Structure 1
């Protein structure tokens, strides 16, 4: 977010100066995110399994050793493409009435969405990092802060 200075120049607004989203936009976001992640994990597992099976059959079993990293790759593109798309949410987030935006309110580009997903899966290695959401006023997790995104209730 930017604001005009007294000298006519445009200056970036620091994260501390950004206004918080309305209360309605943050109501129930944490629990909805938990359910959305569960739905998305099921979807990514099904997509990964189908892709793994298809590639295994198409390569006559020769790619069996190369296919184990299929889940992280599918999760990366699943989150990146769906969050940066026109609906601004994964199918699980849409089911829970959530959307992802940049912290300044603009739609999240692919890079921010993909980085958020990678940092989310890395944060599972250190579960206490997920508790950051309880001390931030806008209910953002550490991976959201680092990717400069915020998860909000979808505007009606």
Structure 2
């Protein structure tokens, strides 16, 4: 049985749909699930990096060592391509987010494209490495449980099941 919305749906404008005061179920447990999703995604990216490193190693033999210059950039490239392809895809979620029941939306409700998804992972790693991991505490103080890089890009992470029930 689906719980009734806090306010009648006719009274809720599309902009207010993302307001946690109007639909708090969208943000229930989002931060803890994002941490778990990040761990899963990090393991996936690490595995893909190992595979890419083996491919680069073999290519280096055939290119007389020229391909080995890619070793320094292999992790960032894999992370950007993985995030852009999954987060910017039809489901708007990485594999870890799919496992934890999350999806990404822009402030207006649209799905992010490849560019926004790729920028999202770049800003995540930059903010954590430059401003220390304590910057992630920003999510504890924002109404929509957004982290610093989410605020910069205008992205929201919401419960996919609650969002499907609203649609």
For Structure 1 versus Structure 2, the TM-score category normalised by the shorter chain is 0.7 to 0.9
Q: Secondary structure at the match of 2:84?
A: helix
Segments of structure 1 that go 5 or more residues without pairing to the other structure are 1-12
> Structure 1 residue 66: deviation in Å?
2.8
Mapped partners of 2:100, 2:125: distance in 1: 20
Counterpart position of 1:128: 134
Counterpart position of 2:46: 45
Counterpart position of 1:114: 118
Question: Which of 79, 102, 105 does residue 109 from structure 2 map onto?
Answer: 105
TM-score (structure 2 length as normaliser): 0.78
Change (3 A) 1:87 1:19: closer
Matches within 5 A, 1:4-19: 19=18
> Structure 1 residue 65: deviation in Å?
3.6
Deviations 1:28-61 (A, max 9, x none): 0001000000000000000011011112112217
Segments of structure 2 that go 5 or more residues without pairing to the other structure are 1-14
Matches within 5 A, 1:135-146: 135-146=141-152
Q: Of Structure 1 and Structure 2, which has the larger fraction of its residues in strand?
A: 1
> Structure 1 residue 18: deviation in Å?
7.7
Give the aligned length. Answer: 141
TM-score (structure 1 length as normaliser): 0.84
Q: Secondary structure at the match of 2:105?
A: strand
Q: Confirm or deny that 1:59 pairs with 2:60.
A: yes
Task: Tell me if the contact between 2:18 and 2:107 (Cα under 8 Å) persists in the aligned partners.
Answer: no
Q: Of Structure 1 and Structure 2, which has the larger fraction of its residues in helix?
A: 2
CA RMSD of aligned residues (A): 1.7
Mapped partners of 2:46, 2:37: distance in 1: 14
> Structure 1 residue 19: deviation in Å?
4.8
Deviations 1:2-44 (A, max 9, x none): xxxxxxxxxxx8xxx7851421110000010000000000000
